[in-house]
Structure 1
Amino acid sequence: MTAPGNQVTSEVGRLRTVLLHRPGAELRRLTPRNNDELLFDGVPWVARAQEEHDAFAAALTERGVEVLHLDRLLAEVMAVPAARAEVITAAIDDPRLGATLRHATTAHLAGLAADDLAAALITGVAHDELRGGRGLAYELMGRGEFVVPPLPNLMFTRDSSVWVGDQVAVASLTMPARHRESALTAALYAHHPRFAGAEQLYESDLEHLEGGDVLLLAPGVLAVGVGERTTAGGAERLARRVFARGLAHTVLVVPIAQERATMHLDTICTMVDVDAMVMYPAVADSLQAWTVTAGDEPPDVADTSELAVTGPRPFLVAAATAMGIDRLRLIDTGLDPVTAEREQWDDGNNTLAIAPRLTVAYERNTVTNAALEAAGIEVLRIAGSELGSGRGGPRCMSCPVLREALPG
């Protein structure tokens, strides 16, 4: 598989290629004892979650979208020695293990075939699954404890990477349960021929920055949410890099509440047309943005040049100005406060645009979907009763790799 060209310059250009991860055995590792630590609000019915995800992938394929599966690409890239070394090093970078158990775990993982290694890195390795386990840390572990924890959030592929133009930003994920996701994603982009030559815009060891907080509002215009998962430092670093590399002229930095229900900017709002978005009504009038531009001298690769920062202004106003349009239309969902809160919690505003005025949404958010259709947006409804237990919608579960450029 060779790279046909990867580029994303907007949220709504016709989607041609997307990276998904079908949830698998890693979800079976969730229990009432560990689901909070692993960032799930419950223990999902795995078979049903897989059915729902399969239907999501099928809906995209039926609309002409090439679907890449992360686990399959990872298995292929695990045949590359450098990639194997990188992900194994990340897997044992855990202070719980101690030197003896780290050595034993390295030997176990290094001895696995490519497919088995990819599966182990995603599903995790439990105490009683480790061949040759030894050492004090190993002896003191319970049988059900994980030497290498599972990655049940891997299905939210938007968070661990985001494409800006023809470059990919590998996220610096905030929550400890998700740190290793970036190592897998980075190895994929660095070593798989599908992404040959792709330049990395951001790395996982930098300030915290997550893909769910990055919206490509229009060519050259990014919005970055700063809240529970992305820091102001991460937003500043990304701004410097997109300016220095000519990938954007304006970055809007948008403070959001540091809460579970609004963990990312895309849980609050998503684009559904070139000039329209759907937004959680409770924040529509209060959401603010700081406008960041390169200033007189564009930032250099050393990330030390001064940036021009103005604001804050109402987000919708600042966005329209940066996008060069008269007004950024807000789809009025007409929701009462209780219904709005319910549909926000169920990712009603986390939609994935396949093209202008064509979007994918969870079927359960009936009022939001009806409002979108009344505004001329075609909605492809998918089931998400089990997928949603990790608090993520269609946009969270998809990383666009290639979108057509918008006309003009």
Structure 2
Amino acid sequence: MVDTTTYEHRVTSEVGRLRTVLLHRPGAELKRLTPRNNDKLLFDGIPWVGRAQEEHDAFAQALRDRDVEVLYVTELLQDVLEYGEAREQAIRDVIDDPRMGDQLRGVVAGYLHDLDPEDLSHVLVSGLAHEELKTAHGLVYRLMDRLDFIIDPLPSLLFMRDNSAWIGDRVAVTSLAMEARRRESSLTGLIYERHPRFAGVRPLYDPSLEHVEGGDILLLSPGVLAVGTGERTTPAGVERLARQVFEAGVAHTVLAVPIAQERATMHLDTICTMVDVDTVVMYPPVAHSLTAHTVTAANGDLRVSEAAPFLEAAATAMGLERLKVLDTGLDPVTAEREQWDDGNNTLAVAPRVAVAYERNVETNAHLEAAGIEVIRISGSELGSGRGGPRCMSCPILREDPPNPT
């Protein structure tokens, strides 16, 4: 029977009541991490996979307990791989790797074509090791180390925020800067393009464009975006995204926010996230030094303001007198530690209700003292890739936020 259900997809803020979210439950790809490759695959440590899965299951259940529909990317991917054209596209994307060479590419293509949708989905996410393809031959295969991957695993797929972002009723499939993560956008893009649930969805951005990552995109209020630019999202990416959202009519103001190019502050959402329509939780050392250029449309081009303090520029764009700020940590030492442990990386499930890692005790206390309900989850293993609840989630449907009082 054909599913004729019509689904709504729309996100206009960070804090409107969350209705549907896309997650990736960690799996075998995390088991591929070793001391030899974890840096290349962008993990600071090697997680205990079973515990990471338990923590992620608890995260997903906490969302369901708040009436949030949870979708899993691997389940959607298996669905689309049932379709011949989508299957061919997925295989073309993964073998389009100049490291393979023609001979190995042909062997890999044949191997992938023989897999059923579930096994093919597994390989696309978890990778294919040299020793798992015993039938391979040729120069490239012979010269590879036996511990190398022919298809790299995608452990950072856990952080679903980065490879796509919904802005209004349009989806931006982003252009990831790090080579180790670029296939994530290909898989997510395939789902949005081919899955019946997303039939009719219009793309807003695609991976062929300048580098933009979803962790740098904050939907401050309907029509107002803040986009960090630094280690992952380039100034050219911010400019391109601004043009795209203005042309699509899903935003009228973009704040371009330069951020320090440091490992701990790779994205804007590692130093600032929203917990209410007029309130952010923010890393104190940058709260009053962060700046923003206000970008608006002007006669078919872009008007760019001089730099102004971020909090002032954001409040003005949002039509507020001021933006309330809750600090990470208690003092400079705890602030630095809790920022590193993703204390800023909260996920609002409704205004004044946020999911946060339980280990960030001082930050959570600040939130509760300000009247924010904190849904605590464990993240001892999930956080080893440096990402919190916001990083791990891609909202697909939120209610529009209430007006600030």
Q: TM-score range by the shorter chain?
A: over 0.9
User: d(CA) in 2 for partners of 1:31 and 1:370?
Assistant: 36
Could you tell me whether the CA contact under 8 Å between 2:21 and 2:68 is conserved in 1? yes
Match of 2:113 in 1: 110
- TM-score with structure 2 setting the length: 0.97
TM-superposed deviation, 1:335: 2.2
Cα 1:334–1:90 change in 2 (3 A) is: closer
- Find the residue that maps to 1:49 and give its secondary structure: helix
Match of 1:300 in 2: none
Q: Which amino acid aligns with 2:283?
A: Y
Match of 2:73 in 1: 70
Q: Which amino acid aligns with 1:111?
A: D
The answer to whether the aligner puts 1:320 opposite 2:320 as a matched pair is no
For residues 102-131 of structure 1, give each alpha carbon's deviation from its aligned partner in whole angstroms, at most 9, with x where no partner exists. Answer: 111111111110111000100001112125
Match of 1:13 in 2: 16
User: d(CA) in 2 for partners of 1:104 and 1:332?
Assistant: 54
Pairing partner for 2:131 from 128, 132, 142 = 128
Gaps of 5+ in 1: 298-305
Pairing partner for 1:277 from 277, 280, 286 = 280
The answer to whether the aligner puts 1:39 opposite 2:34 as a matched pair is no
- Find the residue that maps to 2:245 and give its secondary structure: helix
Could you tell me whether the CA contact under 8 Å between 1:281 and 1:335 is conserved in 2? no
User: d(CA) in 2 for partners of 1:268 and 1:14?
Assistant: 22
User: d(CA) in 1 for partners of 2:49 and 2:128?
Assistant: 19
Instruction: Select between 75-84 and 23-32 the one with higher mean Cα deviation.
Output: 75-84
Pairing partner for 1:248 from 241, 247, 251 = 251
Could you tell me whether the CA contact under 8 Å between 1:30 and 1:43 is conserved in 2? yes
Cα 1:200–1:344 change in 2 (3 A) is: same
Could you tell me whether the CA contact under 8 Å between 1:350 and 1:395 is conserved in 2? yes
Kindly, what percent of the aligned residue pairs are identical?
67
TM-superposed deviation, 1:143: 2.3
For residues 31-68 of structure 1, give each alpha carbon's deviation from its aligned partner in whole angstroms, at most 9, with x where no partner exists. Answer: 00000000000110000000000000000000000000
User: d(CA) in 2 for partners of 1:210 and 1:197?
Assistant: 24
- Find the residue that maps to 1:270 and give its secondary structure: strand
Pairing partner for 2:178 from 139, 150, 175 = 175
The answer to whether the aligner puts 1:238 opposite 2:251 as a matched pair is no
User: d(CA) in 1 for partners of 2:63 and 2:306?
Assistant: 39
Gaps of 5+ in 2: none
User: d(CA) in 1 for partners of 2:255 and 2:33?
Assistant: 37
The answer to whether the aligner puts 1:294 opposite 2:297 as a matched pair is yes
User: d(CA) in 2 for partners of 1:112 and 1:131?
Assistant: 15
Pairing partner for 1:264 from 267, 282, 293 = 267
User: d(CA) in 2 for partners of 1:48 and 1:367?
Assistant: 24
- Find the residue that maps to 2:106 and give its secondary structure: helix
Give the number of aligned pairs. Answer: 400
- Find the residue that maps to 1:286 and give its secondary structure: coil
Q: Which amino acid aligns with 2:204?
A: L
User: d(CA) in 1 for partners of 2:184 and 2:88?
Assistant: 15
TM-superposed deviation, 1:3: 4.3
TM-superposed deviation, 1:211: 0.3
User: d(CA) in 1 for partners of 2:220 and 2:192?
Assistant: 24
Which aligned runs of 4 or more in structure 1 are off by greater than 4 angstroms?
none
TM-superposed deviation, 1:142: 2.4
Match of 1:370 in 2: 365
User: d(CA) in 2 for partners of 1:345 and 1:75?
Assistant: 35
User: d(CA) in 1 for partners of 2:306 and 2:370?
Assistant: 31
Q: Summarize the alignment of residues 16-31 of structure 1 with structure 2, pairs less than 5 Å apart.
A: 16-31=19-34
TM-superposed deviation, 1:296: 2.9
Could you tell me whether the CA contact under 8 Å between 1:269 and 1:277 is conserved in 2? yes
- Find the residue that maps to 2:250 and give its secondary structure: coil
Cα 1:178–1:295 change in 2 (3 A) is: same
Q: Which amino acid aligns with 2:153?
A: P
User: d(CA) in 1 for partners of 2:315 and 2:200?
Assistant: 34
Q: Which amino acid aligns with 2:314?
A: A
TM-superposed deviation, 1:229: 0.4
Could you tell me whether the CA contact under 8 Å between 1:12 and 1:272 is conserved in 2? yes
TM-superposed deviation, 1:144: 2.0
The answer to whether the aligner puts 1:389 opposite 2:384 as a matched pair is yes
- TM-score with structure 1 setting the length: 0.96
RMSD: 1.0
User: d(CA) in 2 for partners of 1:228 and 1:217?
Assistant: 21
Q: Summarize the alignment of residues 204-243 of structure 1 with structure 2, pairs less than 5 Å apart.
A: 204-243=207-246
User: d(CA) in 2 for partners of 1:135 and 1:216?
Assistant: 50
User: d(CA) in 1 for partners of 2:318 and 2:287?
Assistant: 18
TM-superposed deviation, 1:96: 1.6
User: d(CA) in 1 for partners of 2:46 and 2:215?
Assistant: 23
Could you tell me whether the CA contact under 8 Å between 2:283 and 2:327 is conserved in 1? no
TM-superposed deviation, 1:141: 1.6
User: d(CA) in 1 for partners of 2:336 and 2:185?
Assistant: 31
User: d(CA) in 1 for partners of 2:322 and 2:141?
Assistant: 60
TM-superposed deviation, 1:334: 6.0
